[in-house]
Structure 1
Amino acid sequence: MSQTAEAKEQILLGGWTPYHDLSPEDKKVFDEALKGFVGVTYTPTQVATQVVAGTNYRYRCTASMPPAQVVWEAIVEIFQPLDGGKPYITSIHRI
């Protein structure tokens, strides 16, 4: 492993990645965790991840409560267990 790759790996272990565009896998985790969620509609625009005993996701989202036209930003945090269990919401913060 090169020094640059090794340094990058050391920074990422236990730390959060910068926010980035969602991959198809990121979108799948988000959709699965919010399946059946009612009330506010969250649309993810970016995600940051943290590898622990599973994966923590922080989704930066636009949020709205139809039929109102009010839109705000929120962070939806989701945990994906290491054992392949169903991802679930750990918190939602309005920003």
Structure 2
Amino acid sequence: MSDNTLSQEQVLVGGWSPYHPLTAEEKAIFDEAMKGLLGVVYTPQQVSTQVVAGMNYRYKCLAQMPPAEVVWEAIVEIYKPLKGQPIVTHISRI
């Protein structure tokens, strides 16, 4: 049986998971961290996660600065502590 999902035991502690489609929870974390960010609009396409004291997320996004029609790819990194709000830690164009 192969369904592209990994159990907790299959992901190395501290290692990044393979990129996968966002769950509703991962999308909510992205939206919460990006709230109030002005200028570039980031649309997440996939996410990779890393278990730390909390959780790190790397979102592969399409980025655009309206009203321009130019679109590029970017990685938005977000840290979600065990307690508290998620925060954007880094954004890089790829």
For the criterion TM > 0.5, the same-fold answer is yes
Is the alpha carbon distance of 1:24 and 1:8 closer, same or farther for their aligned partners in structure 2, counting shifts above 3 Å? closer
| 4+ long deviations beyond 2 Å | none
RMSD of aligned residue pairs (Cα, Å): 1.4
Structure 1, unaligned runs of 5 or more: 1-6
Per-residue deviation, residues 27-80 of structure 1 (Å, max 9, x unmatched): 000000000110000000000000000000000000000000100000000000
CA distance in 1, matches of 2:28, 2:62: 17
- Aligned residue for 1:12? 12
CA distance in 2, matches of 1:44, 1:29: 11
Percent of aligned pairs sharing the same letter: 66
Query: Aligned pairs, how many?
Result: 88
Structure 2, unaligned runs of 5 or more: 1-6
- Rg: which structure is higher? 1
Q: Which has the higher helix share?
A: 1
TM-score (norm 2): 0.89
- Aligned residue for 1:93? 92
- Aligned residue for 1:80? 80
CA distance in 2, matches of 1:36, 1:77: 16
2:51 is equivalent to residue 51 of structure 1: yes
